Amino acid sequence: MRVEGGRNTCRHTDENSCPAGFDIWVPRSYAHAFAVVEATGGQDLQHHNFLVGIYRDEDGCGSCQDYAMNSDAMATYSGVGWQSVAGDPWFMRSSTYSEPNGDYEAGCWLGTHGWTENEGFEFFDYWCRNCRSSYLCSRNGAKPVPTPAPTTAAPTATPAPTPAPTTATPTATLAPIHEGENVRVTTSGSFVHVDQAKSFDDARAYCRAHYHDLASIHSSSENAAVAAAATSTSGRSTISRERSGAPSRR
């Protein structure tokens, strides 16, 4: 992660603005260093702002120009003392270079200002003047580019088919005969079957007086209810819609 305008840091003992568990970035290999430089577009290198978490606990550098600046090369020498804030491995360059040239102050960061293809960073020591408030922070894992675990697509859930709605066959029941009327009445759902011959006007008046109005059919389920109400009779008759839940008159 990148910090912009954080605490100014000149050496590894200074506080910085990296969050808990993070520290100044340490390149672990040429491939790791190159990947990060490429990801940042090289802008930090061009402005000498690319801090790396490499330091030495003593002033000067001895014969630093005689060996490559990486932990593998350092293992073949004694008393040189370059190290990283995250231990080995660390990497600056795979070949010897003209820097650091000895004007180094203990504990301070090296400055970076360029990149040599197939070799690594171009850098300098320059006392303790490589102080920065913008830098890269990292958890600095020893294996910075782990191989991702293979991913397995989650199985696609297939919704169970929605069962078709079932409609119970309406049951015709006998209803009481209205007082003063010689009629036989059966009900089915919200329909009433009046078993008596009547003219249209008389049928409508009768239905409006006792129920709601003459029936009008709006669906197959209503048609079934009407059929059930009429199965026990024959001849001319009247189908009325009950008041509860009934539509407006037609």
Rg (CA), the chain: 46
CB atoms within 10 A of CB 232: 12
Classify residue 15 as exposed, middle or buried by CB count within 10 Å of its CB (0-12, 13-18, 19+). Answer: exposed
The pLDDT, as a whole number, for residue 19 is 95
* Entry pTM: 0.55
- Cα–Cα–Cα angle for 1, 39, 100, nearest 5°? 85
The pLDDT, as a whole number, for residue 76 is 83
The pLDDT, as a whole number, for residue 74 is 84
Alpha helices in the chain (DSSP H): 30-39, 43-46, 71-74, 200-210, 220-230
The pLDDT, as a whole number, for residue 7 is 96
Q: What is the mean pLDDT of each run of 10 residues along the chain (250 residues)?
A: 93 96 95 90 63 91 81 82 93 91 90 90 88 92 51 46 53 42 51 72 73 70 69 52 43
Q: How many angstroms separate the most distant Cα atoms in the chain?
A: 128
Q: β-strands 111-116, 191-195: how paired?
A: unpaired
In order of start, what are the domains of the chain with their CATH numbers? 1-142 (3.10.100), 173-241 (no CATH)
Cβ contacts of 127 within 8 Å, gap of 6 or more: 103, 104, 105, 108
In this structure, are residues 33 and 53 in contact, taking their beta carbons and an 8 Å threshold? no
Q: How many helices (H) and strands (E) does the chain have?
A: 5, 12
Three-class DSSP labels, 106-138:
CCECCEEEEEECCCEEEEECCECCCCECCEEEE
The pLDDT, as a whole number, for residue 165 is 54
Write down the residue that tokens 């989650």 correspond to: 154
Alpha-carbon span 9 to 16, nearest angstrom: 6
Alpha-carbon span 238 to 246, nearest angstrom: 17
The pLDDT, as a whole number, for residue 86 is 94
Cβ contacts of 87 within 8 Å, gap of 6 or more: 142
In this structure, are residues 64 and 100 in contact, taking their beta carbons and an 8 Å threshold? yes
The pLDDT, as a whole number, for residue 103 is 87
The pLDDT, as a whole number, for residue 184 is 47
Residue 80 corresponds to which tokens in the numbers above? Answer: 């040189």
The residues with which 64 forms a beta bridge, in sequence order, are: none
Q: Is 79 left (phi over 0), alpha (psi -120 to 50) or beta?
A: left
